[in-house]
Structure formats: C-alpha cells, structure tokens
Structure 1
Amino acid sequence: MKRLWTPRWIAVHLATVLLVLAFLALGWWQLSRAESGGNPSSWGYMLEWPVFAAFVIFLWVREVRAVLRGDAPPAPPTPEQPRDPNRLAVRRPVRTEAVRRATERSAYGPARPPADD
C-alpha cells in the first residue's frame, strides 16, 4: 500500500476525485437544463457525463490493481541507475560523404542554374 502514497500517486488520486466530481456536477447541470425545457442534446449529455466519471474510476481501479500486482510498467531510469546495455540508443543520423554526394546529384540537392530556354 505504501506504493500508492508517493507524490505521483497522490496527484493521481486527487485528479481522479476532482474529475469524478466535475463530471458528476456537469451531469447534474445538464439534468437541470434538460428538465427546464432542454433539447434532446441536454438529455444525452446528462447521461454522458456520469459515463465519463465511471470511466475515470475504471481507469483508476485498473492502475491501482496493476501497481498492487506488480504489473505496472517500470519507471524510467533515473540518472543514478545504469542504463540497460542491451537497449539501443536512438541518435541523430550522421551525414556521411557518400550521402552528401548522392544528395548533390539528386533532384532535391543544391540549387542548379536554370536551363537555357
């Protein structure tokens, strides 16, 4: 249970509560609009907002269960942790001399003088 009280998880818990309350309040607001002569869209939104709140709760429960089971993805390495030597690093491409020569010969290479018409 201690894993669920890190600063990141406290922010997730707080965001979950705030989103659920906001979505339920928006559903209540749409209900009041629909009851006071609203259109079919108001009735649809009145049903939609609680579904959004339920989805937030579903995601929160799924993530909590994953952490408690140990299925959560590993955290990114911090500077103190050594990187995995078997993992490939993505680097910027290097322009070699052969690539430069091929680019000069291509239609997309350096500007060429206009042809005589």
Structure 2
Amino acid sequence: MVGRYDGYQDEETKLKDAIKLLDAKQKLLDNYTQQNNLKLQKVLMLVIAPSIEEAESIRTSLIVNCEFPPENILQVDSSKITDNLAQELQNIDNPHNPTRIIIAVGMLKEG
C-alpha cells in the first residue's frame, strides 16, 4: 500500500505511482529469486474499474499519459471474453507472458 501526504488528486498520478511500485516490486522479486536460485516469477498489477467505459479510459491513460506499452496491458470485461482471453488468463503467471497490468471490470455482465 502506498500513499501520498498530499493525497491523490487525479487518476494519472495514481497510475504512475502504481507503475513505479510495480517496477520496484519486480526488481526486489528478481533479486530474491536470483539469490535463492528460484524460478523466475512475475509481479502483476490489478486495476478494478466500475464499468467498461472506465476500464477503457484507464487503459488509454496507461498508454498515453504513463507511456506504458499496450502489449503489457490486458483488459478483462464481458465485451472481451473469448477463448483467447481465457487462454491468456490461464498463462498469466508465465514470466514470458507480456501482461504486467490487468484491468478488470468490477462485475461481469456490466452494462
């Protein structure tokens, strides 16, 4: 959990802070697994959105404002459920899977 003394005034700041934390956690995990001769692991970030529109807005903000690679973002909502998505979710923990951020809508069958 991370917070700011001045609070969060906008979504962009929250997302940028979350990406910094994601990267820091990955570095720590990489060091730990290397020092202990463990299998490579991947850190993921989960963002819960209240609607498909908000999920799409978050995805756009990550790409445009945070300059996060789109191939590293997976959006999960009822408009995107396919066999390919199900397969990708099955392999989400694979270190070679490019997904680092998952944006999910709070409830499936959302409007």
Q: Same fold (TM over 0.5)?
A: no
TM-score, scaled to structure 1: 0.31
Q: Normalized per residue, which structure has more helix?
A: 1
TM-score, scaled to structure 2: 0.33
Q: Tell me which of the two structures has the higher relative contact order, counting C-alpha pairs closer than 8 angstroms and 6 or more residues apart.
A: 2
Q: Normalized per residue, which structure has more strand?
A: 2
CA radius of gyration, larger in: 1
